[in-house]
A and B are shown apart, each in its own frame.
Chain A
Amino acid sequence: MRFFPATEPIACLASPVAPGLLSKREMMMTATPDDGQRAGTAVDAAHSPFLPRLRPRGAVWLTAPAVLVLLVALAYPLGIVVWRSFSDPAIGIDNYVWFFQSAVNRTVLQRTFVVAAWVTLACLICAYPYAYAMTIVGRNMRLALILCVLVPFWLSGVVRTLAWVILLQDSGVINSILRGIGLSPVKLIRTLPGVVIGMTQVLLPFMILPIYSVMKGIDTRLLQAARSLGARPWKAFLQIYVPLSLPGVYAGAIIVFILSLGFYITPALLGGPRSILLSSLVQNQVLSLLNWGRGGAMGVVLLVATFVLLAIAAPLMRQKHTSSRREA
């Protein structure tokens, strides 16, 4: 599976480096002019019969520590969750039947996906111009912009969410300002828009970083070439720059979407009873009702739904110019 690191929300949450890694790989798929100049030798090397022998044997063992951690901390508990969903309290698919028969569950599942989609869209709208700005400003300004992206990583998610509570609550900063300039206050806390706002802020770096790392590899001289061929500046941007930046957009969108699906703290603190997401339902089943079977079933449904979505999205994301290279 191409996006294996991204398919597991926990792995991504645990490591903020994940988007960087992913986007670096994406970036390599976007050919820069330097790549172009070396393309001849690269192709030759790929066809060289000697190349495989040069690869040291046993390199696969370098992954052993990571594989071990994944097996112990991920595969084993996941296996237990799946097993319990089919066996607790009795063997069978009772837990799944319960899940899909409950209108509340179906609504929450749907809401979880809708919120994830909104968060992804909001992140994209904020991140794309921000990442582009990062590529065109001077060095010091770029450092400042990167710092703005990274500082939230250094704060705990709970603290950030509580800050949003202060901002969004009925007597909070935003509504005070609205009242101050004579506008009517808006209900933000314990509503879906409030949840989306908070999640967007928390997840924004996961969108900005992959897009930026792809954008900084784009050769802007291509835009000059497009203009010499007769393209207006905005047309050159849309037809040349945007397509070349898409690998970063796809990578960021997938990370943000999948992280959103499993988000717990922010929706729990900012949301209300009418904006509960699936993670809160799981928490309720497992920790409050001690019903591991039903909680597990919900988790499995979320996981499977995520895989299905990825399978649908995968062909979209495959870059044409790289896939054809693989076929060649």
Chain B
Amino acid sequence: MTDREHIAGSSHPLPPSAISRRTVLQLAGGSASFAVIPGVSAQPAPAPGDPGKVLQRVRLIVNGEARELELDPRQSLLDLLRETLDLTGTKKGCNQGACGACTVLLNGRRVVSCLTLAAMHDGAEIVTIEGLAEGEELHPLQSAFIEHEGLQCGFCTPGQIMSGVACIAEGHAGSPEEIQFWMSGNICRCGAYPGIVAAMAEAAGAG
């Protein structure tokens, strides 16, 4: 993706959150027409015929599963995941793109899903914390977070881990200092940072 290349090639690297802020500013692409499957949980897609509704049809692949949805174009990817698809592993910490708790992978890149409008990403592949393990087998970074005390309350943890997976894939986990820099978009208020860095270093080394 161009954003990633831009950032990777920059002599003044931007913090990870900058990626998604840019993403929000992109215009929505055209969307193809798909059959609509109603949402599965608490917040249904608005009923057809609802006055004042503006809906957009979007197809997403979420944790490997194809979903076809009719969405309120204002809905963030985060609210779609949590309120419509009941994938509550992804957390809302600030809804302002400033804390990283809502980080997911969008086409392999880490984005803060609170500043990502779902309707703008027709056809995208989303991976959330629920989609990281292979069956019962945890992703190596998930195991490393347990092993190195990379968490306390656990609320920022899904975002930390999704951000960490991407950070390692980006090649930004070569040293503790590099990990600290490239993981600073994910706030941990409990202060489990030393454990997060140790977990990342191990997973990056093992990978």
Do A and B come from the same complex?
no
A contact residues vs B (CB 8 Å cutoff)? none
